[in-house]
Amino acid sequence: MMDKIILNGMKFYSYHGVFAEENKLGQVFIVDAMLLLDLTEAGATDVLETTINYGEAFQLIEKEMQKPSKLLEHVAERITKTLFEQYDRLQAVTIKITKPNPPIAGHYDGVGIEIHRVR
């Protein structure tokens, strides 16, 4: 069982979607990230370099969210790849991206995707 760093409810205004209106107008997306790694050393030493800096991880995710894509799946894969490249300690990642207001008729809180990748 791995320890987790959790970044919940990050909100980004971005331009993702297959419809022209989505790419022109954009909308808010909600991203949840779960970063799995061993936090034993960080817990014992209280040293930032033995864990993942939440603020830095947020900035990496934000940067990938700013790049337009048609599919949320593509955005999530880019985020995962970036996090793995940046953090050697990272063993697995779960990324969930929710689109609260997609151009789909109906009543719901949002639609989205969730991926889980292991190094």
Query: Among 82, 77, 74, 87, which residue's Cα sits nearest to residue 36?
Result: 87
Taking the C-alpha atoms of residue 107 and residue 30, their distance in angstroms, rounded to an integer, is: 18
Residue 34: alpha-carbon gap to chain centroid: 8
3-93: what fold? GTP Cyclohydrolase I, domain 2 (3.30.1130)
- 46: region left, alpha or beta (phi > 0 left; psi from -120 to 50 alpha): left
Average pLDDT in the chain: 94
pTM attached to this predicted model? 0.92
pLDDT digit string (tens) for 93-109?
999 999 998 777 888 88
Q: Hey, where are the domains in the chain?
A: 3-93
Known catalytic residues are: 99
